[in-house]
Structure 1
Amino acid sequence: MPITPDAIDRQLLTALQKNGRTTVGELAELVSLSQSPCWRRVRQLEDSGIIAGYHARLDRKLLGYGVLGFVHLAMADHTLEKADAFEREVVALPQILSCHNLSGRFDYQLEVVARDLEAFAEFVRNNIRGLPGVREISTSFSLKEVKRSNEVPVK
């Protein structure tokens, strides 16, 4: 069931999405609370699951991943067992940044990083082609990343 944050919670969430290292003192000042009640609010947001974690955002290019590709997959078998097996294996592959179960022509979309086109092709041939239930593969590449954000709008 969705949780409805109040105005102060929304300010805290917005600030923490922009910088997860913001101190409780800085947050308290931002929302005009003392540190203890501010800390309790942040803790409640964490305990409720609205704040699911804190992460460092890495630059894939500086780490040597020059290719960002999308792999669309059509499945031959739509049984729950095959889907579970497929999803377990996808989760275990660190080169796959995201996996979405889709409506429409394809069943899944994978977002994949690779060092170069050759490494991407090898990854598709050696890892993705053999995933449980895969019938058809279609790939495309990002020519330019216009926007990347993990920030969820806080209403």
Structure 2
Amino acid sequence: MAQSVDLDQFERAILAALQKNARQSVQELADRIGLSTSPTWRRLKALQDAGVILEYVARLDPAKLGYGQTVYANVTLAKHNRDALQDFEKAIVERPEVQQCFSMTGSADYIIRVVVQDAAHYERFLQEVVFTNPAVQHISSHFALREVKNTSALPL
């Protein structure tokens, strides 16, 4: 597990502002947090170098791009040796439909979040990725009815 970083009020303000709008200039960011440009840039660079800021991305609307269905799936493996785990994880990582994958404790070994166009698209995903994988023993799929909250912003 990564070690946490101690942040001061300005670093927290920088992160909060970036979580709302990562496209703002350093000058806009400096104005927003109440520092001049140079110290804001240095703090921003230090946050990037420390790995606190992982990447800058654009959030897209999946439904407007034809991906109207989100599926959460609990995956249980029959085999837990290193090769089986690596093969399963490699297959999952390679699929663009898989938005998230977590190794879990409890009754499921993994939980994956998959975005698909429709049920038929999900069935193809299962046939190509899950059912052909010898390590998979069981999968339990849950189709999301509607999105209530979806954020990438962390509480600061």
Query: Which TM-score applies when normalising by structure 1?
Result: 0.95
1:12 aligns with 2:14: yes
Q: CA deviation at 1:120?
A: 1.1
Counterpart amino acid of residue 58 in structure 1: L
- Hey, what does 1:70 align to over in structure 2? 72
Q: Is the 8 A contact 2:92 2:129 kept in 1?
A: no
Q: Is the 8 A contact 1:76 1:133 kept in 2?
A: yes
Separation (CA, whole Å) in 1 of partners of 2:37 and 2:134: 51
- Hey, what does 1:116 align to over in structure 2? 118
Q: Which of 24, 27, 30 is 1:25 aligned to?
A: 27
Separation (CA, whole Å) in 2 of partners of 1:33 and 1:55: 25
Separation (CA, whole Å) in 2 of partners of 1:131 and 1:11: 46
Query: Which TM-score applies when normalising by structure 2?
Result: 0.94
- Hey, what does 1:48 align to over in structure 2? 50
- Hey, what does 1:139 align to over in structure 2? 141
Q: Which of 105, 108, 113 is 1:106 aligned to?
A: 108
- Per-residue CA distance 1:61-98 (angstroms, 9 max, x = gap): 00001111111111001112211221112111101010
Q: CA deviation at 1:113?
A: 1.0
Moved over 4 A (4+): none
Counterpart amino acid of residue 71 in structure 1: A
Q: State the secondary structure of the residue aligned to 1:52.
A: coil
Q: Which runs of 5+ in 2 are unaligned?
A: none
Q: State the secondary structure of the residue aligned to 1:62.
A: helix
State the aligned residue count.
Answer: 154
Q: CA deviation at 1:132?
A: 4.6
Separation (CA, whole Å) in 1 of partners of 2:115 and 2:41: 37
Q: Is the 8 A contact 2:103 2:111 kept in 1?
A: yes
Q: CA deviation at 1:119?
A: 1.2
Percent of aligned positions with the same letter in both sequences?
37
Q: Which of 128, 151, 154 is 1:152 aligned to?
A: 154
Separation (CA, whole Å) in 2 of partners of 1:73 and 1:105: 9
Separation (CA, whole Å) in 2 of partners of 1:83 and 1:6: 40
